[in-house]
Amino acid sequence: MRLLFADQLGPHFADGDQPVLLIESRAVFERRTFHRAKAHLVLSALRHRAADLGSRATFVRARTFGEALARYPVSDCIHPTSRAALDLVQRRGIPVRPPRGFLMEPADFARWADGRRRLVMEDFYRDFRRRSGVLMAGDEPVGGRWNYDQDNREPPPRGAARLPVPDPWWPQEDDIDRQVRADLAEWEAQGVQFAGQDGPRRFPVTRAEALAALDHFVRYRLPDFGRFEDAMLADDDWMAHSLLSVPLNLGLLDPREVIAAAVAAHAAGSAPLAAVEGFVRQVAGWREWMWQLYWWFPEEYREHNVLKHTRPLPDWFDQLQADRVTARCLGTVLERVDRLGWAHHIERLMVLGSWALQRGYDPQALTDWFHRLFVDGYEWVMVGNVVGMSQYADGGQVATKPYTSGGAYLNRMSDFCGGCGYRPDRRTGPDACPFTAGYWTFLHDDAEALRGNRRLAQPLAGMRRLTDLPAVVAQEHARDVP
C-alpha cells in the first residue's frame, strides 16, 4: 500500500489501482490546540477520501501514526510536506517518491537557487512563466508587463458594506460531516481541547467539491479579484478571494490546473489580465516560493529571531477573545478567525502580523498560532510567511523590510476605522490608534536592529523627529489589550 497523508488527497497522489493507507491520528489533536473547524475539515476530508476510494483504501483510526504503521506495512509514500513527517517515514525505511502538488521539485529549485546573489520571489516567478509559457507571448509577458501589482491595490468602494460580487461556492454537509462533528464533541468531553467555532463547513473536502469551487471562482469572482486583492471590509468575510488555498493545501487540486483555469478565463475574455496575473502570482509565485524555501532553508531557519522578540502571546490574542478588543480592525479579524478559522492574506499580514510585530510577540509562538488556527495553515506554509514575511525574524531573507504600518494604511484600505474607538491620526491620548502609536514604538524599540535597512532610513529619520516620542513609547509599553 502507499501511505497518503491528510494533505495528499487528490487523484494525482494515487497511481492506477494501487491500494492506499489513510491514517486518522487522534494524538495530533491531543498534543496541540487546533481550531475546531480545521480539525473538522481534515477529518472530513480523510474520511471522504476513504469513502471515494472504496476497497482501494485501508482507513485506520489510531491514536498515533506509529501504531497504524506497525499494523499495516506500506510500500512507499509521496514526499511529505513537513520535516517531522519526512523524518517519520525515513526512520521506518519507507521509500519516498518525489513531491506532488507543487510546480517544481526541491532538487530542481536547489539548482536554480544555488550561487545566486539574491533569492527573490519575483525572479523565481518570472522564471516559472518563461519555462511554462504561462501568460507569455513568445519571450515576452502577455500585455508587456510581468507584474500588475500596482493595479491590484484599490481600496474598497466608498460606503460599500460588501463587494458587489457573487457569493463563493458553498459545500453541503453530509452524514460524514455529522459523524465528524459528533466525534469531535466526544473527544472534547474526554479532554481534547480545540479553539474557535465549528460552524457549517465552508471549504471543499472532496475532489468534486474542489473542482466545483474552482469553476465557480473562475466564472464569477476572478474578474473582481485583482482590483480589491488588498482591500478589507468589516462585514465582508470573503471579498473576491478564491478560498482555494484549502483544497490546494489538502492536495485536492493541483496548482497547474488552477493556473490553467485562470489563464483560460483571460484567453476567453471573461477575466481581465491584471486579475488573472495577480491570482497566478499568488499560486505560482508566493505559494510555490513558500514551499521551496521551506526545504531550501536549513531546519534552524524556523528559530530565527534577529529582532529578539520574546513576548508571549497574550491570552486574549491566543484564545481569539475578540470581544475584549476595542480596536475595530484587530477585533474584527480575530472574530473572523474565531468564527471561520480563516482571514485573507492582507488581514493576516497587515492586521494580525503587524500587531504582533509591533508588540514584539515571539515569532515561533506566532508561527505555531497561525499553523494551528487557520484552516489552510501547515508548517511549510507558515514558516516563511510568519518568520520571514510577517515578523522579519530572519533579518530580510524573505522580505526586504518589515511589513507593518500605522492606522493611515488601515484607514485607506478598509472601513475598519469608521466606528472605531480610536482615531488613526492620533498617536497619544485615550483615542490614540494602537497601530499608529505601535508603529512608532516598534521603530523606536528596534531602531538598532533596523538601522542597516535602507528602506527604513526615512521612517527612522521621521521617528527621531517626533517631539512626543517618549510619551508615545511609554503609552504603548503600558498597553495590554488594544
**pLDDT tens readout for residues 153-189:** 899 999 999 999 999 999 999 999 999 999 999 999 9
Angle at 89 between CA 1 and CA 253, to 5 degrees: 65
The confidence score (pLDDT) of residue 263 equals 98
Q: Indicate whether 271 pLDDT > 90.
A: yes
- Of residues 192 and 105, the one with the higher pLDDT is 192
Would the pLDDT of 106 be above 90? no
Terminal C-alpha separation, the chain: 53
Across 293-302, average pLDDT: 95
Query: Tell me, what's the pLDDT at 464?
Result: 95
Considering the chain, what percentage of its residues have pLDDT values greater than 70? 100
> Does the pLDDT value for residue 151 go beyond 90?
no
pLDDT reading at 44 higher than 90: yes
Instruction: State the DSSP H helix or E strand holding residue 187, giving kind and residue range, or none if neither.
Output: helix 175-189
Percent of the chain with pLDDT over 90: 94
Q: What angle do CA 419, 421, 423 make, to 5 degrees?
A: 90
Above 90 in pLDDT, residue 395?
Answer: yes
Say how far apart CA 211 and CA 198 lie, in whole Å: 23
What backbone phi and psi angles, to 5 degrees, belong to 230? -110, 10
pLDDT at residue 119 is higher than 90: no
- Quote the pLDDT of residue 107: 87
Q: Over 90: is that where the pLDDT of 152 sits?
A: no
Query: Do residues 262 and 271 touch, judged by C-beta distance below 8 A?
Result: yes
The predicted pLDDT at position 118 comes to 82
The pLDDT tens digits of the residues spanning 218-265 come to 999 999 999 999 999 999 999 999 999 999 999 999 999 999 999 999
pLDDT tens digit sequence for 418-472: 989 999 999 999 999 999 999 999 999 999 999 989 999 999 999 999 999 999 9
Q: Domains of the chain, with CATH numbers?
A: 2-97 (3.40.50.620), 106-169+206-296 (1.25.40.80), 300-478 (1.10.579.10)
Query: Residues 399-421: pLDDT tens digits?
Result: 989 999 999 999 999 999 998 99
Give the three-class secondary structure for 2.
Answer: strand
The helix (H) or strand (E) run that includes residue 332 is: helix 328-340
Q: What is the pLDDT of residue 30?
A: 95
Residue 21 predicted with pLDDT over 90: yes
Query: What's residue 150's pLDDT?
Result: 85
Q: Please state, in angstroms and as integers, the Cα–Cα distance from residue 248 to each residue in 75, 96, 207, 419, following that order.
A: 25, 21, 10, 37
Average pLDDT over residues 129-151: 94
Mean pLDDT score across all residues of the chain: 96
pLDDT (0 to 100) of residue 343: 97
Rounded CA separation 197/37 (Å)? 6
pLDDT score of 26 more than 90: yes
Indicate the pTM of the whole model.
0.96
Cα 255 → chain centroid:
15
